Amino acid sequence: MTSNFVDYVKILVRSGKGGAGSAHLLRVKYNAKAGPDGGDGGRGGHVILRGNTQRWTLLHLKYTKHVFAENGQNGGDNLRTGRTGADQVLEVPLGCVCRDAETGEVLGEVTEEGQELIIARGGRGGLGNDHFKSATNQTPRYAQPGEPAEERWVIIELKVLADVGLVGFPNAGKSTLLSTVSAARPEIADYPFTTLVPNLGIVKYRDDRSFCIADIPGIIEGASEGKGLGLRFLRHIERNSILLFMVSCEQLEIDREYRVLLGELEKYNPELLDKERILAVTKCDMMDEEMQRQLRTHLPKGVECLFISAVSGQNIQELKDLIYKKLTSDD
């Protein structure tokens, strides 16, 4: 279900505060003041993000507004250390970025299975009075308090991890291509914004090799300013190694369409222009060779271009070859 895709959550997290050290003095039968034996306080629990490849959305965190870790316990007598507070671990899909909601500071990102990112660090436990004894102070009656908890609002964003991102206007044929080259089954219809969430597909290549392709919801002019689906999905393109621009052959001014798409990406994040780019002119099963020849005069310079048709299979294998070549060119 498209409603099950959640890629943005805002949560209040609080770590556990450290337990206080003990100021206990040992008392035995024949020595009422045998010296300090206060133990240290336990560390407060952390709030941790952990990468999990079985997760693909933040849906399980959508209604989680508060995450509090356990406090550390106080130290005891006989040099007993207080128990460490239990951590709170949030399982997240790979590709998540966490930042402080107030300052915008990026706290880190999770990109590998099992990777852990501490987003609220538990307070250290205080030292017991045994640490403060000396030749001149053999019975210290004080101990350290535990460190306070750390509390903040955080924003967790999912940026889809894929080798190739499909970039184009609504109805450019992105979902049709994805369903043709992979086992993914995105919703396809002849109206704009059929795709409301990113869809991932694994494309099988020669000799059991493969690469991952992401169908990003369609961009419209002004998307970088929040129009249409806007900024919500432009961030997913940041993770892709190659950008596959798709323009329908029904749009006679191919160069203009490509420049508008490029311009929206540049306004959103100029670094996106450093990525490898391929241009695919789609739905070419509706064109004969003469029409394709005429359309070539409207192609942009400086980008490799292919005329393709996901319906007839025209140049689909050539497109796979080109993509894989670019993905492995740095190897």
> What's the whole-number average pLDDT of the chain?
83
Phi-psi map region of 78: left, alpha, beta (phi>0 left; psi -120 to 50 alpha): left
Give CA 129 to chain center in angstroms.
Answer: 45
Q: Are residues 211 and 235 in the same domain?
A: yes
232 pLDDT above the threshold of 70: no
Taking 90 as the threshold, does the pLDDT of residue 161 lie above it?
A: no
SS3 content of the chain, % helix, strand, coil (to 5): 25, 25, 50
Count how many domains the chain has: 2
Q: How many CB atoms lie within 10 A of CB 105?
A: 10
What is d(CA 40, CA 37) in angstroms, rounded to the nearest whole number?
Answer: 10
Most confident stretch, 39-53, 198-212, 233-247, 264-278:
39-53
pLDDT score, position 191 = 43
Element (H, E) at 179: helix 174-181
Q: CB atoms < 10 A from the CB of 326, how many?
A: 19
Would residue 54 be called left, alpha or beta, if left means φ above 0 and alpha means ψ between -120 and 50 degrees?
Answer: alpha
3 state SS for 237-267: HHHCCEEEEEEECCCCCHHHHHHHHHHHHHH
- Domain boundary residue among 128, 158, 188? 158
Where a domain ends, among 124, 158, 192? 158
Which residue did the predictor score with more confidence, 234 or 10?
Answer: 10
pLDDT at residue 96, rounded to an integer: 92
The pLDDT of 157-176, averaged and rounded, is 80
Lowest mean pLDDT among 68-82, 151-165, 172-186, 301-315: 172-186
Are residues 89 and 70 in contact, defined by beta-carbon separation less than 8 angstroms? no
Any idea what DSSP says for residue 309? B
Q: What pLDDT, in 10s, does the model give residues 10-46? A: 999 999 999 999 999 887 776 656 789 999 999 999 9
Per-residue pLDDT at 230: 44
Q: Position 221: which residue type?
A: E
Q: How far apart are CA 6 and CA 160, in angstroms?
A: 11
pLDDT at 51: 95
Answer yes or no: do 79 and 185 share one domain. no
Q: Which residues of 10-48 are buried (b: 16+ CB within 10 A; e: fewer)?
A: ebebbbbbbbbbbbbbbeeeeeeeeebbbbbbbbbbbbb
314, 204: one domain: yes
Residues 191 and 118 in one domain: no
pTM: 0.69
Q: Are residues 231 and 87 in the same domain?
A: no
Band of residue 229 on the pLDDT scale cut at 50, 70, 90: very low
66: helix, coil or strand? strand
The residue among 138 and 120 whose pLDDT is bigger is 120
Sorting pLDDT into bands at 50, 70 and 90, what band is 132? very high
Does residue 148 share a domain with residue 168? no
Residues 69 and 190 in one domain: no
- Contact predicate 255/305, CB 8 Å: no
Strands 96-100, 31-36: pairing is unpaired
Res. 223 pLDDT band, cuts 50 70 90: very low
Most confident of 88-92, 172-176, 259-263: 88-92
Instruction: Specify burial of residue 328 (Cβ count, 10 A radius: 0-12, 13-18, 19+).
Output: exposed
Is the pLDDT at 184 greater than 80, yes or no? no
Domain edge (last residue) among 105, 136, 158: 158
| 77 and 200 belong to one structural domain | no
Cβ within 8 Å of residue 271, ≥6 positions away = 238
Determine the average pLDDT of the residues in 103-128: 95
Are 223 and 252 part of one and the same domain? yes
- Residue with the bigger pLDDT between 331 and 275: it is 275
Domain of residue 34 covers 2-158
d(CA 80, CA 21): 10
